[in-house]
Structure 1
Amino acid sequence: MTADLMDPWGQGRYALHPPAAPAIPQNSTAQANNASSPLFASVEVFVNTYLSRVVCRRLGQGTAMWCPEWWRHPEAVVRFDGLWRAFEYFVVDTETGVSTWWLHHADPHLRAILDPDFGPFALCDPEDGHARHPLEPLPVRPAPEGTWENPLYRITDDDSGRG
């Protein structure tokens, strides 16, 4: 392969060492029909072996922020877990599933996660790692008694709150 084909944007670094493509296990028909057979065994495997290799960003204050110890951030863990589960659901659709996942799941979550000012990694450093004093959880106060009995706060018709 010529350098032009391997480095279409003239960045030089791909000419000699093209990035390794992340390994995505291939769906079999049996796997597609069996929800108990995820492509990735856990959210950690999904982030560390797939997402972190596919999502390439210029990192730093003002652009995007990342923490190599992402698993120390509850918001990031919950969002990545949701992304992983949505990916497992949508990847079965070989027509538009992955596009739907990117557009409606990955893109909005990654904007929030990587936001250098307001995201969970805002105080971390992509090279130095996890912040010594991470962001504090949002302060909360308990709702006054009877608050949740107000019909304006109900989105369901039953009392279980489940629909």
Structure 2
Amino acid sequence: MSLLDTPIARLDGTPATLGDLTGAKPALLVNVASQCGMTPQYSGLERLHQQYAERGFSVVGLPCNQFGSQEPGTAEEIREFCSTNYAVTFPMTEKIEVNGERRHDVYEGLVSTPDATGHSGDIRWNFEKFLIDGDGTVVARFEPRTEPDDLALVAAVEKLLPQQD
């Protein structure tokens, strides 16, 4: 089974697969939180999403409350926060767990990928990022403090997308 076939509900609770959310195109998967010191990354994630959407790219936010209880809200509160404060238009999933016994199956398929420093395994904090290609293959992992406009991250995204005319 491809990572894209993994069931995961949308933020509004409607059933979906990861492929439904990404459109089976390259995507950056990010475990997000509304009350984290890195929450302002939402702005950069939205810019990245907007910049490359026409070339077949998406950011997907996966809310998680496992790190310092920094995503305590309901689905509606998360949606309202992201919309009001950061004008988020990229797809968001239901709130999930990324570590431990209740780790969501999406993250079971991600965590074995190492980042540039060689770290693999458990997610370290909010805003850890995974870049997947259109087939759902994990291409790169970026640590939480990596900003969405980081040159290495942007270069990795561009490498997956069709060239512009």
Output the TM-score relative to the length of structure 2: 0.22
Output the TM-score relative to the length of structure 1: 0.22
Decide which structure has greater strand share: 2
Decide which structure has greater helix share: 1
Which structure ranks higher in relative contact order (CA pairs < 8 Å, sequence separation ≥ 6)?
2
Larger radius of gyration: 1
